[in-house]
Amino acid sequence: MRFDIITIFPGIFESLFAAGIIKKAQDKGMIEIQVHNLRDYTADKYRQVDDRPYGGLEGMVFKPEPVFKAVESIRQPGRSLVCLLTPQGELFNSKLAEKLATYRQVVLVCGRYEGVDERVSEYLVDEEISIGDYVLSGGELAAAVVVEAVSRFVPGVVGREESVRHDSFSTGLLDFPQYTRPRDFLGHKVPSVLFSGDHQKIARWRLKMALEKTLAKRPDILKSRKLSEEEKKLLSEIQEERKES
């Protein structure tokens, strides 16, 4: 799978993609990331990518020509998807990441906060994506978030494929708590069930903790999720315990 990022700040991405899972995935040839400078697709002496908005108001807007020229020269025929990173886009989540991972090529156009000529969204871009309800000055950090989250769904990128499927948001629940040594840290002890050696009991405890955490922090995810019989039973246990305390 290949990512092409179109940006006016290509330098931002160098260190981000030069470490960890993303570096390894590139070295092994499982993903390829190309960063392109939008200014290379301008035709004027000043390499101008933006201009004043029609109708007035302050701020600058990306001109359509360089963006169209860049995308048209970079996008490959076949399974490619062109995305614009903008706070006006669809909210990015695990499901959208998994969908993007089915494409051969994802082109990420980093917008800027003041705006991008509307004809880019209307006639060039397949998908507009936002990473959350807050404003960033440009789409660069959002593009890096998308590359990392999508790459995790590319087969082979994450060590054991299992660990992606067991992740929060793939299971539809927040993670259960994890502990490592020491067994007693400043008097705060690791739950004793984890030393029981009873794997079934441990699995049930973990599921219960995941449910409890999700209920407390993200009740919205629980509402939209189908519960198994065991989960329903554990949830009613949790609710009983809450009443008692």
Q: Which residues are annotated as catalytic?
A: 87, 114, 152, 167
By CB under 6 A, what part of segment 100-139 binds ligand 6GU? 111, 113, 129-132, 134-136, 138-139
CA–CA dist 131, 113 (Å, integer): 13
Residue 175 Cβ vs ligand 6GU, minimum distance, rounded to whole Å: 24
CA–CA dist 193, 176 (Å, integer): 13
Using CB under 6 A, pick the residue from 16, 83, 85, 157 that binds ligand 6GU. Answer: 85
Q: Kindly state whether residue 87 participates in binding ligand 6GU, applying the rule CB under 6 A.
A: yes
Kindly state the tokens that stand for 86. 């903008």
Cβ atoms < 10 Å from Cβ of 47: 14
**Between 87 and 172, CB nearer to ligand 6GU:** 87
**Between 141 and 194, CB nearer to ligand 6GU:** 141
CA–CA dist 149, 138 (Å, integer): 19
Kindly state the tokens that stand for 201. 């009991």
**Between 117 and 212, CB nearer to ligand 6GU:** 117
**Between 87 and 177, CB nearer to ligand 6GU:** 87
CA–CA dist 192, 72 (Å, integer): 60
Among 161, 197, 194, 149, smallest CA distance to 176 is for 194
By CB under 6 A, what part of segment 159-218 binds ligand 6GU? none
Give the residues lining the site for ligand 6GU (CB under 6 A). 85-87, 89, 111, 113, 129-132, 134-136, 138-139, 142
